[in-house]
Amino acid sequence: MKAGVEPLVNDGFAGEATKRTLGYLQKQREKGKNIVGIYCGYAPLEVIRAMGAAPAVLCAFANKTIEAAEMVLPANLCPLIKSSYGFLKTDTCPFFAISEAVIAETTCDGKKKMFELISDLKPMYVMDLPQLPDEKEALDNWTVMIKKLKGFLETTFNRKIDDKEVEKEIKETNIKNKLMNKIFDFAALTPTPVSWLELYDLTYLGQAATTKDMIALLNACVAKLEQRVADGVYHGEKDSPRVLVTGCPVGGDATKVFKIIEEAGGVVVALDSCTGMKAYSGMISENTSDPYAALSRRYLDLPCSCMTPNNRRLAELDKMIKRFKPDVVIDVVLHACHSYNVESHKIKEHVTNKHQKPFLKIETDYSQSDVEQIRTRVEALLETVPKK
């Protein structure tokens, strides 16, 4: 954002998503709430909140912990898994420290085996995620998993979860998603008045914070963005190439990709990953006969590359391209994340053939060793965008 422009969230933590969220969770703990650690976007947050607990996204995006992890894990494993394990091995994840239980999901083989290594550290429930989401059995089985999670939380914390509270949290999530999408609507403007860092900060906090705690913040953000538009304030330049970033979760040290795009003259307008906009993209059915089945359908609709066939990712990408009007699409794939890596070919074909957009796949990890190589490739990509 241009110098002198007040950040959307002006609380002393602008650009510090981790510190802001940790501070929020520590306050929740002081109020007597239990903290439940999560690793993935498939964790049903509404069930956690229905118990009066708060979810904490556990550490997974730093290069500094990988060396310690590689004393146990293979070097050619996904950096997200190595970083996660390294944080626990070195006892340096504050979110794990304040968590009293952990929810895990079988999204990939590496994670499954890593969960075995840490299962004795905290009470843990591993949810068996169906990966053929369009099958009726998938919906039935995931509903069962969510209900078993309910039982695990009730046993662990000696507290019952009322189905009415689950329904209430479904409605609260829908309110939050609508408000978050008001923010995303500003990113869709040309030129955009909001930066990727502001979007990242809000989406990160939104995973932990309740709707009640987010409403005032999000409404204030909307008012600030409306004022920016009225004042002609925008991010980047008016003719900056608009970039949609898709692929693996991008956070912490991996945000180097976003920074490189900006330094090369581009503007990131859409964060198409589970650490960005994906968690807020849909609504959960309300007032159904079974709120757990409603949650099951919503979470199975998340188009992670672990799903097959993953045609829903292409459909969602179509919507995002139409909405955010990117000039180029960049697919970020973490080393050894085989499902996203294989799927990248299908994404490229879809983007270049159907949408006639320039496309770039970036394979990377959390180190800084490939920054200049990425910069060269991004600069070459952005040079293909015609001047406006």
- The per-residue pLDDT for 158 is 98
What domains are there in the chain, each with its CATH number? Answer: 17-164 (3.40.50.11890), 166-382 (3.40.50.11900)
What pLDDT is recorded for position 185?
Answer: 98
pLDDT band at 232 (very low <50, low <70, confident <90, very high): very high
What values do phi and psi take at 246, rounded to 5?
-120, 180
pLDDT of residue 177: 97
Residue 301 confidence (pLDDT): 96
The residues pairing with 363 across neighbouring beta strands, listed in sequence order, are: 333
Q: How many whole angstroms separate alpha carbon 102 and alpha carbon 332?
A: 27
Cβ atoms of residues 304 and 176 within 8 Å? no
- Tens of pLDDT, residues 8-54: 887 766 668 999 999 999 999 999 999 999 999 999 999 999 999 99
pLDDT of residue 15: 66
Residue in the block written with tokens 């979470």: 299
Average pLDDT over residues 262-279: 96
Residue 6 has a pLDDT of: 83
Q: How confident is the model at residue 1 (pLDDT cuts 50, 70, 90)?
A: low
Model pLDDT, residue 388: 74
pLDDT of residue 4: 60
How many residues can be counted in the chain? Answer: 388
Over range 264-290, report the average pLDDT: 96
| Per-residue pLDDT at 376 exceeds 60 | yes
pLDDT of res. 238:
94
C-beta of residue 35 within 8 angstroms of C-beta of residue 28: yes
> What is the pLDDT at residue 12?
64
pLDDT of 14 reads 64
How far apart CA 133 and CA 143 sit, in angstroms, is 12
Q: What is the pLDDT of residues 296-320, one digit of tens each?
A: 999 999 999 999 999 999 999 999 9
For residue 34, give the 3-state DSSP assignment: coil
Residue 387's pLDDT is 84
Q: What is the pLDDT of residues 99-158, one digit of tens each?
A: 999 999 999 999 999 999 999 999 999 999 999 999 999 999 999 999 999 999 999 999
pLDDT per position as a tens digit, 156-198:
999 999 999 999 999 999 999 999 999 999 999 999 999 999 9
Q: What is the mean pLDDT of the chain?
A: 96
Question: What global pTM score does this model have?
Answer: 0.97
**Longest Cα–Cα distance in the chain:** 62
Model confidence over 68-84: pLDDT tens digits? 999 999 999 999 999 99
Report the C-alpha gap between 354 and 318 in whole angstroms.
9
Looking at residue 7, what is its pLDDT?
A: 83
Q: Output the pLDDT for position 9.
A: 82
Q: What percent of the chain has pLDDT over 90?
A: 95
Please give the average per-residue pLDDT across 263-272, as a whole number. Answer: 98
pLDDT (0 to 100) of residue 250: 95
